[in-house]
A and B are shown apart, each in its own frame.
Chain A
Amino acid sequence: MNTNTHPLELAGKAPLVRFQNVTKRYGSLTVLDNLDLDINANEMVSIIGPSGSGKTTVLRMLMTLETIDEGVIYVGGEPLTHMVQGDKLVRANEKHLRKVRGNVGMCFQHFHLFPHMTALENCIEAPIHVLGMKRAEAEERALDLLDMVGLADKKDEHPSRLSGGQQQRVAIARALAMRPKVMLLDEVTSALDPEVIGEVLNVIRKLNDEHDLTMLMVTHQMGFAKEISDRVCFFSEGKIAEQGTSEQIFGDPQNLRTQQFLNAVLDAG
């Protein structure tokens, strides 16, 4: 069932992220079923598919928000969900997770900005308290990032004063401030009014064009996914039903379910 065509597979180079035989269950429900997935450095990978297919779970497990049931996830060659003990792999403890989690950053559908802090404070909080950065340095970096997302003038505003699109852009800046190797974007435009979706997509476009960032994006924005992705994975029932380049998946889907899904999505406009 695994169409593992890797159009960008660089000969001999290990993938930045590797899901190896990953299974995740909630009670009797299997959400991810023996998943194998590789993400290479600087790749922009979109994950599409119907709800309940396990798309968001992939991101959440990579961010260590969910625990793994079977299999191993590797980031940068090192195990994320497990740790090396002697010559065996055992489940990672909190200490190990804290060490490796810093390689991954995530933006959420509902942004989850800290309401009691300004945009600037949101972006300097983790660099200061997790990376131990000095305040001046953290502020400088945060201002650069806010500028990049087009919100330098809103640095002293609280989230309650910002529109959804603005909040999501601050959330992106906040995540980038930690210099993650992999950025996860979980349906970051699904909760936004149509007129502000564009500003967020522009930021993502800019990130992809101007920065060396590996991104994994779950999205319902098919047009955007088609335009920007190096690779598209179609998920169905906890497995990758089909993956390939944008042209392959959107232009000429081979799998029946992929075809059905795309037809339904396109019908809905």
Chain B
Amino acid sequence: MFDWKWEYSVEILPRLLSATVNTLLAAGFGYLIALIVGLAFALLQRTGVRPITFVVREIVEFIRSTPLIVQIFFIFYVGPQFGIRLSPWTSGMIAIGLHYASYLSEVYRAGLDNVPKGQWEACKALNMGPVQIYFRIIIPQAIPPSLPGMGNYLISIFKDTPMLSVIGVAELMHAATTIGSETYRYVEPYTLVGLIFLAISLPTALALRQLEARVRRKMGMNR
């Protein structure tokens, strides 16, 4: 490539790589939050209590239908307006966590709905309680078909972390922009960022497809 400065690239790589760690941490934590809150969203919608179902449903729809970047700004700036100061990291985690919780809740709901009705009836016949039914019978069966969706969202979260750079979270994109503005050379930083993303997301996607196949086999649910 014309005018690509190799020494410069090598020079900035360590900074980019250490920022990548931050990115991975952000993605990881965000995903964890999303996994748990998403499950809550899904289960709340199955309570059968109309007002709760309705409110949760509307919240989930609202979050899913609006841009994450706007939600990030909202959470980051709204706090101070009412006296609460949230750090960039915290606001970012809350925003990403909520956003992806709403996506994951849909994945969970589909997984749960697809468990055959007969399973519920068998559990009732054995006089099992709801907690036992959910956690030992239903949820384990809901997981294998949900894995592709859950895996895809993990990769999506990872790819969305650059949005956090705009509120100052020191992740990969932020580091690249900072480096670029220091030296006025953006080609190498942004290209390297792209390559790092590819280097992480492609193998992860492959690994996920294999994990999915393995869990399917293990649970004897070979379709």
Do A and B touch (CB < 8 Å)?
no
